[in-house]
Structure 1
Amino acid sequence: MERIDTALSKWDGNDELQKRLDRAKNALLESAYIIRFLDEHPNVTSEMVSTGLNKLYEYKKERENCDNCPGLERCPNLMQGYQPELYVDRKHLELRYHACSLKVQAEKQKQEQTLIQSLYIPKEVLSASFEQLDHGTDRMEASRATLHFAMNAKPGEDGNGLYLYGKFGVGKTYLMGAVANELKDRGIETFIIFAPDFFREMRQSISDGSFQEKLEAVKKAQVLILDDIGAETTSSWTRDDVLGAILQHRMLEKLPTLFTSNYDYDELERHLAYSDKGGTEELKAMRIMERIKHYTEAIMVKGENRRS
């Protein structure tokens, strides 16, 4: 359809041009978006419609773009990532724009990644999906369990998660990436955090004053994935004041936590029992593990190292 302003610029009294303009106007007024707006604003007059045709056209076109959204990066709207709102101001039709849900989510993720450097989604995980998974017998149980979680997770109602363990390179992180992408499609916020970097970052955050803010963000994520737990250098502080605080909050709020590790439950408990002060602290490690065991299902991921 020809733009209304283009048609107007060509108007020179010619009957054919007038007919084309009338057809364009009628087609515009038959749009479901415009009909809905006029129904909700019965005080809009014919004169206001005539003088606001450009605004009406822009509103219709941008809303159609949103309904056929190709994704934030390919958004064709005049203001990428923004949706139009049509309103009346002093007997004139006007437009204003608001960030769409994808834009809001992208900005939030950008802020979170600025806050927590170890919050990440590796390149190989960005496109992870259950449709592309190799559902061989080695990973069948893990594939089924992660898919079931992704399809049925209810943060705030059910705090149960998963604990995937196995040798290096068998695809544990990729499975979690598929979970995160599926949850994203369901509108569920997911943090994937590389545990060794996270604990190191938390220690450094004490000096810059961001410790509590980082801790709160991780504690309150709808779904938290701690990748490669057990690969970090253990200290009493990271175990009790960071990991323990996170798990305690998430347990009480019924927020699911998922883990990947090279260790099974018993091996992780021995790892957590190590004390940088010397000796072992088995009771404290046991308390952490009770929270993990009670709220996760342990699944061994088998197979060959896919990175070699």
Structure 2
Amino acid sequence: MKKLGNVISSKMKERFSPDQMERQLNALLKHPLVVKYMVEHEVSEAILKRSFSKLHQFVQENENCKQCLRLSECPNLMKGHFPTLREYGGFVDLVMNECSKLKVKKEEERRKNLIQCQQIPLDIQKATFQTIELDHGREKAIDAALDFCLRIANGETVKGLYFCGSFGTGKSYIAGAILNTLAEYGIPSMMVHTSALAQELRDTIAKKEGLLNSKLEALSNVPILVLDDIGVENLTSWLRDSVLAVVLHNRVSNQLPTIYTSNLTLDELEEWLSITLSNGYERHEPLKAKRIMERIKPYVTVVEVQGRNRRYALNNNAN
């Protein structure tokens, strides 16, 4: 099997005549990236001239990276990689490095492998602001979501969002649009349905305690976390005190915003957090609920999402 470098070299010779190669080489030697490498590493032009194809690939692929909008459109020979130069034995060679977009993708995949919730509908996973149905009841929520995206993309520290409202008004869809927008800026995120998450974490306990800790760490450290449909499941003291309290404490400490979607107002959420079920009996613990709310209420902007129930409308149209 031919080495990739030899294939590229032969292709370059086919593409350029000697005069063209000389002109190209002189242009490459004047490129800012090449000049910088020569100065920093004290490499002579003579060494660089022996490695025309490597030099051409180095400049071309780094220029590609400057124009790159998303990983899927990467034109480089090794998708998601950019080359740096290394002098060795009187020649220069290329060292391929993972780009930031590939690193983000791998980190997202790592987190997805840790949190295997399957309760986020496909339409929400693909949601964008362009596909949101606009109406007066959603206007403030969409404005708040767009402002959140803009400020996060600019590197600002911002509060999370608490989307509340009736069933089917599009709270989760707007949250999904936020995450897909931020993904275009290379910002990792995670969206989990709270009920499904609770069941998954309970199942994890029986398998391996270390795995549970890894999942809690992933929830705690992802830059943007969406807790979808919080407040619908029967709450246990374990979910409240050993999961939500731990994750939200860590996120607040690290100034990481959390987005919530819920049918409950914040007051109703506090009431939900105060009641846990154990062996069929309810326990009322308002102080513990207040401790959780101290990690939610001051760190979110409440946004009410109004409008008709779109799920009901879709079902009627289908019939």
Alignment of structure 1 residues 227-238 onto 2, 5 Å: 227-238=228-239
Aligned position for 2:268: 267
2:110 equivalent to 1:107: no
Residues 153, 182 of structure 2: 8 Å contact kept: no
Name the CA shift for 1:273/1:257 in 2 (closer, same or farther; >3 Å): same
Equivalences, count: 300
2:256 equivalent to 1:255: yes
TM-score in terms of structure 2 length: 0.82
Whole-Å Cα distance in 2 between the matches of residues 19 and 286 of structure 1? 77
Name the CA shift for 1:119/1:29 in 2 (closer, same or farther; >3 Å): farther
Aligned position for 1:14: none
Q: Counterpart amino acid of 1:213?
A: S
Aligned position for 2:283: 280
Name the CA shift for 1:232/1:154 in 2 (closer, same or farther; >3 Å): farther
Q: 2:296 aligns with which of 265, 282, 292?
A: 292
Q: Counterpart amino acid of 2:267?
A: D
| Alpha-carbon distance, 1:190 to partner | 2.3
Whole-Å Cα distance in 2 between the matches of residues 261 and 63 of structure 1? 45
Name the CA shift for 1:247/1:154 in 2 (closer, same or farther; >3 Å): farther
Residues 85, 98 of structure 1: 8 Å contact kept: yes
TM-score in terms of structure 1 length: 0.85
Alignment of structure 1 residues 208-219 onto 2, 5 Å: 208-209=207-208, 210-219=211-220
Alignment of structure 1 residues 162-181 onto 2, 5 Å: 162-181=161-180
2:196 equivalent to 1:197: yes
Q: Secondary structure at the match of 1:291?
A: coil
| Alpha-carbon distance, 1:236 to partner | 1.5
| Alpha-carbon distance, 1:77 to partner | 1.4
Q: Counterpart amino acid of 2:224?
A: V
Residue by residue over 1:41-90, the C-alpha shift from the partner in whole angstroms, topping out at 9 and shown as x without a partner, is: 433242x2232112112212222222222522232211111111111113
Residues 151, 182 of structure 1: 8 Å contact kept: no
Name the CA shift for 1:119/1:245 in 2 (closer, same or farther; >3 Å): farther
Q: Counterpart amino acid of 1:280?
A: R
Q: Counterpart amino acid of 1:279?
A: E
For structure 1, list consecutive stretches of 5 or more residues without a partner in the other structure.
12-16
| Alpha-carbon distance, 1:110 to partner | 0.8
2:42 equivalent to 1:42: yes
Aligned position for 1:303: 307
**Percentage of pairs with the same residue:** 35
Whole-Å Cα distance in 2 between the matches of residues 104 and 207 of structure 1? 32
Name the CA shift for 1:18/1:273 in 2 (closer, same or farther; >3 Å): closer
Aligned position for 1:23: 23
2:86 equivalent to 1:83: no
| Alpha-carbon distance, 1:6 to partner | 4.2
Whole-Å Cα distance in 1 between the matches of residues 177 and 97 of structure 2? 30
